[in-house]
């Protein structure tokens, strides 16, 4: 028998305190990859000690990169240069990390050896054709299982620069193309239907690669070199989002979340919550290694439903599960559209959140690319996170406003993005209990 991890969340008192959330997952992935391809030693601090980012580190070690972990949240990477990676006799296991797999597909497309990327059961169902097709345009050759993992990447291909307009606004797709473009002759340019986060562009610049970029586009020449540098990873805004919404929803609450990364292509949730009436103040804004960071002070406020502006959708795609909880507690109706990407995340997040909210007494109607949520009183009940870390944490916040306990099933995958969530949550006032349930092996 195996034990399944469930949570029980219920209302308590106001939330108070000061906290720091773990390092940004997206930046941690990218810092490891670029440091591995650089000349010299790079040190990454604030590294997210999550299962996804550790999987990326293990893959790079399989490819011959020396990575040391002198302390928790630190990595020292001995770069091997653009052409210094070595083939692995074993498949490269990305675990649950969709970001890791898509970015590594771009990085490995330019190598002189074959590679195979695999993942867990969830990742093996996620669409990869969206990244395979643009990489093929650059000259890559990648085999898949009907557009899904495993990905068999053929080495020794002569990549060539190309101007690519992506069909989907996705920083992962853009980043995969740019990483492949490092190995391509000529110039690689990416244009997006909507601007997405520019972590890869900023970090390539920090590592010394000549790149030009702006909202919705990026262009770089291939076959240059990266020079080692130190990277300080800011707090992950997606992790902070659960505490931002929790403090907003629970009467009498005030939280200060310190050193949060506020990349302008990442903070659509702040704009949407403010439009709903939230009291979120940005304090001590500053720059850290090219990334804007700040402290966020959040106080309780009554929310009202809105139609989420399409312009913010790409900038908050990971935050929609927790926004759905905010909408459930808001007066009136909240409408979300243009977010079909939510259906192909770690779960179908539209379905998982709508089903869960209905189980808690909320009128939540799915649409093909979003949802219509009518705010009301949350009741207790049982919800299934479907193994999706962001849905699990969102339902934990919902429990703080329910009239009785909410049991959330299948929460173990929270460790992929937010190790230590439970302890941090309890430390600021969450009433959150961990329970295990035996199930057949």
Q: Residue 8 CB: number of other CB atoms within 10 A?
A: 17
Distance of CA 276 to the CA centre of its chain: 24
Q: Which residues are catalytic?
A: 318
Q: Where are the beta strands (DSSP E) in 105-154?
A: 115-118, 142-145, 148-153
Q: Residue 53 CB: number of other CB atoms within 10 A?
A: 30
Closest residue by Cα to residue 46 from 307, 402, 333, 291: 291
Contact in structure between 241 and 269 (CB atoms under 8 Å): yes
Closest residue by Cα to residue 107 from 130, 91, 85: 85
Q: How far apart are CA 212 and CA 204, in angstroms?
A: 10
Size (the chain), residues: 441
Closest residue by Cα to residue 83 from 63, 105, 111, 61: 111
Angle between helices 320-328 and 268-276 (to 10 degrees): 10
List of domains in the chain: 2-23+235-439 (3.65.10.10), 25-232 (3.65.10.10)
- φ, ψ for residue 211 (rounded to 5)? -140, 145
Closest residue by Cα to residue 218 from 265, 261, 260, 262: 265
pLDDT at 3: 63
pLDDT at 437: 67
pLDDT at 290: 79
3-state secondary structure of 10: strand
Q: How far apart are CA 249 and CA 429, in angstroms?
A: 13
Spell out the per-residue pLDDT of the chain, length 441, in tens. 356 899 999 999 999 999 999 999 999 999 999 999 999 999 999 999 999 999 999 999 999 999 999 999 999 999 999 999 999 999 999 999 999 999 999 999 999 999 999 999 989 999 999 999 999 999 999 999 999 999 999 999 999 999 999 998 899 999 999 999 999 999 999 999 999 999 999 999 999 999 999 999 999 999 999 999 999 999 999 999 999 999 999 999 999 999 999 999 889 999 999 999 999 999 999 998 878 999 999 999 999 999 999 999 989 999 999 999 999 999 999 999 999 999 989 899 999 999 999 999 999 999 999 999 999 999 999 999 999 999 999 999 999 999 999 999 999 999 888 989 999 999 999 999 999 765 554
pLDDT at 1: 36
Q: How far apart are CA 225 and CA 105, in angstroms?
A: 19
Closest residue by Cα to residue 242 from 325, 303, 314: 325
Contact in structure between 315 and 267 (CB atoms under 8 Å): yes
Paired residues of 382 in beta bridges:
407
């Amino acid at each position: 028998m195996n034990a399944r991890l469930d949570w029980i969340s219920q209302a308590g008192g106001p939330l108070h305190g000061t906290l720091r959330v773990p390092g940004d997952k997206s930046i941690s992935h990218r810092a490891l990859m670029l440091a591995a391809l650089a000349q010299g030693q790079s040190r990454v601090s604030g590294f997210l000690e999550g299962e996804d980012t550790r999987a990326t580190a293990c893959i790079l070690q399989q490819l011959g990169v020396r990575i040391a972990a002198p302390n928790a949240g630190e990595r020292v990477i001995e770069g091997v240069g653009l052409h210094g990676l070595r083939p692995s006799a074993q498949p490269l296991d990305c675990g649950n990390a969709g970001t890791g797999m898509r970015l590594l597909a771009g990085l490995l497309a330019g190598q002189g050896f074959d590679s195979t990327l695999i993942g867990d059961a969830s990742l093996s169902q996620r669409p990869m054709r969206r990244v395979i097709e643009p990489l093929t345009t650059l000259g890559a050759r990648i085999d898949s299982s009907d557009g899904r993992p495993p990905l068999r990447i053929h080495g020794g291909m002569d990549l060539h620069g190309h101007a690519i307009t992506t069909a989907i606004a996705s920083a992962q797709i853009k980043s995969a193309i740019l990483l492949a473009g490092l190995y391509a002759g000529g110039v690689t340019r990416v244009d997006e239907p909507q601007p997405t986060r520019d972590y890869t562009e900023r970090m390539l610049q920090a590592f010394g690669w000549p790149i030009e970029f702006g909202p919705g586009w990026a262009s770089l020449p291939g076959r240059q070199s990266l020079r080692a540098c130190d990277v300080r990873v800011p707090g992950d805004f997606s992790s902070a989002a659960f505490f931002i919404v929790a403090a907003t929803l629970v009467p009498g609450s005030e939280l200060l979340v310190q050193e949060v990364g506020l990349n302008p292509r990442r903070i659509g949730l702040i704009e949407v919550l403010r439009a709903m009436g939230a009291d979120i103040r940005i304090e001590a804004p500053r720059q850290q290694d090219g990334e804007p960071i700040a402290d966020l002070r959040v106080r309780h406020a009554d929310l009202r439903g809105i139609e989420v502006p399409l312009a913010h959708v790409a900038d908050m795609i990971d935050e929609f599960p927790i926004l759905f909880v905010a909408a459930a507690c808001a007066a009136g109706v909240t409408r979300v559209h243009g977010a079909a990407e939510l259906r192909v995340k770690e779960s179908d997040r539209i379905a998982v959140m709508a089903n869960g909210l209905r189980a808690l007494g909320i009128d939540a109607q799915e649409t093909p690319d979003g949802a219509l949520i009518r705010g009301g009183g949350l009741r207790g009940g049982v919800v299934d996170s479907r193994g999706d870390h962001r849905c699990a944490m969102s339902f934990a916040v919902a429990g703080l406003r329910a009239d009785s306990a909410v049991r959330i099933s299948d929460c173990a995958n929270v460790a992929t993005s937010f190790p230590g969530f439970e302890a941090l949550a309890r430390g600021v006032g969450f009433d959150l209990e961990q329970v295990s349930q035996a199930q057949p092996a």
